Structure 1
Amino acid sequence: MDRAAVFDVDGTLVDTNHLHVVTWWEALRQAGHDVPMHAVHRAIGLGSADLIAHLLGDDRDPAQDDDLSAAHTALYGQYFDRLPALPEAGELLRRLHGDGWTVVLATSASGAELGALRRAIDADDAIAATASADDVEQGKPAPEPVEHALELAGVPASRAVFVGDTVWDMRAGSKAAVHCVGLLCGGIPRADLEEAGAREVYADPADLLARLAGSPLG
């Protein structure tokens, strides 16, 4: 039977979480919101609308959400030509593809941002499909992004592994009933990932690749 390896992208395959923290912090600051960077970091992995709601609460002016998102996109877009892949991210995807896994990306990124991330990974030959923010009504921690990735791969949850770096990833994967693997390279502690549903935790893509034989992707 076919099997699917579903990957989050930001903080999992590409080292972008702290770029997102700084650019979201600056976008919020420019709009008059004083939000600590550690709080922004904890929200990374949510879609833009959910991130803003999570950080500013229901007493914010929702009419500003689009402007905040656009400001973040403009600030973050300055880095599109030099986003750094995490160690051996592309090699991991190509190895899994060679081992017979259907590799699918499940990410809140879309458009030019998604294109920049894929260029950084440099493994398009191994990626079968991408479930982006444009494809679902609800982003993580709702299960829709992972479920859509499974639909694209044509496999049931029992034949899939989801790899991510945030609690939002682990919650989404758990709700979708897939085997969840956490990576520490996004800056979230092991205990938090495990509490959110990670069954195994690795340092980064290189660590997962080095220990692939004994992992759920072995």
Structure 2
Amino acid sequence: MADEISGGVLFDVDGTLVDTTYLHTVSWWEALRQTEQPVPMATIHRAIGMGSDKLLDHLLGPERDRDADERLRDAHATLYGEYWERLTPLPRAADLLRACAERGLRVVLATSAAEPEVGALRRALAADDVIHTVTSSADAKESKPAPDILQAALAQSGLDAARVVFVGDSVWDVAAAGQLDIPCVGLTCGGTSRGELAGAGAVAVYDDPAALLAALADSPLANGR
């Protein structure tokens, strides 16, 4: 590993490094069904990447009766928690993190998952030896597409926005990075298309961590920024 940190890479985790996007979709679908507020899975999928507060506004409308919101969030958390021990990293996700670290880049997981869930994601990745900083939902006042979690990741890792790249899988990731003028590399492994990610402003788009790793030397991650 290089002696000096030349920059860093902020990584979203859900749908970017760990294969969870559709698990969240199914869990929200069932939670909504249980409260008699059914929403098609395709619609839910497009909202994954937002925090639960904004996701429910997006799916059910900001003027809805919010009395069921806590029950919805609890149901989603319980349903999704059943998958924790079976979470699977996306292809070569840990290898990508290690390759970035070997290039002298500080590796940061910029996730807004709750603390217990962060532990499950880290166990699935099995790359703690090269991860410098990990955020959680407690670090952000507002969820994506607000940039709060990225600001927290920068502050905790000691990195400057001018020296980092963000890697994410949703248009909400791209939007959050754009508010801080951070280039966002998109991955389609969360189920969002190449066209949607590029249209939202992603500076480059790859299929998954393995594809980004294969092209790493020529990617926006090559030297941080």
TM-score normalised per structure 1 = 0.97
Superposition deviation, residue 197 in structure 1: 1.6
> What is aligned with 1:166?
170
> What is aligned with 1:69?
73
> What is aligned with 1:187?
191
Superposition deviation, residue 153 in structure 1: 2.0
> What is aligned with 2:216?
212
> What is aligned with 2:103?
99
> Given that residues 46 and 108 in structure 1 are in contact (C-alpha distance below 8 angstroms), is that contact kept between their aligned partners in structure 2?
no
Distance 1:176 1:63 in 2: 34
Q: Where do 1:63-212 residues align within 5 Å? A: 63-212=67-216
- Give 5+ residue unaligned stretches, structure 1: none
1:88-124: CA deviation from partner (whole Å, max 9, x where unpaired)? 0011101111211111111121222111111111101
> What is aligned with 1:46?
50
Q: Percent identity?
A: 54
Aligned equivalent of 1:23, options 13, 23, 27:
27
| Counterpart residue identity of residue 39, structure 1 | T
Superposition deviation, residue 177 in structure 1: 0.9
TM-score normalised per structure 2 = 0.94
> Given that residues 45 and 108 in structure 1 are in contact (C-alpha distance below 8 angstroms), is that contact kept between their aligned partners in structure 2?
no
| Counterpart residue identity of residue 162, structure 2 | S
Q: Secondary structure at the match of 1:125?
A: coil
Distance 1:71 1:111 in 2: 17
Superposition deviation, residue 217 in structure 1: 1.2
Aligned equivalent of 2:7, options 3, 7, 10:
3
Distance 2:161 2:63 in 1: 38
Distance 1:57 1:201 in 2: 31
> Given that residues 163 and 181 in structure 1 are in contact (C-alpha distance below 8 angstroms), is that contact kept between their aligned partners in structure 2?
yes
Distance 2:133 2:180 in 1: 18
1:158-198: CA deviation from partner (whole Å, max 9, x where unpaired)? 10000000000000011111111000000101111112120
Q: Secondary structure at the match of 2:145?
A: coil
Aligned equivalent of 1:36, options 40, 62, 67:
40
Alignment RMSD (CA, Å)? 1.0
| Counterpart residue identity of residue 57, structure 2 | A
| Counterpart residue identity of residue 18, structure 1 | Y
Aligned residues: 218
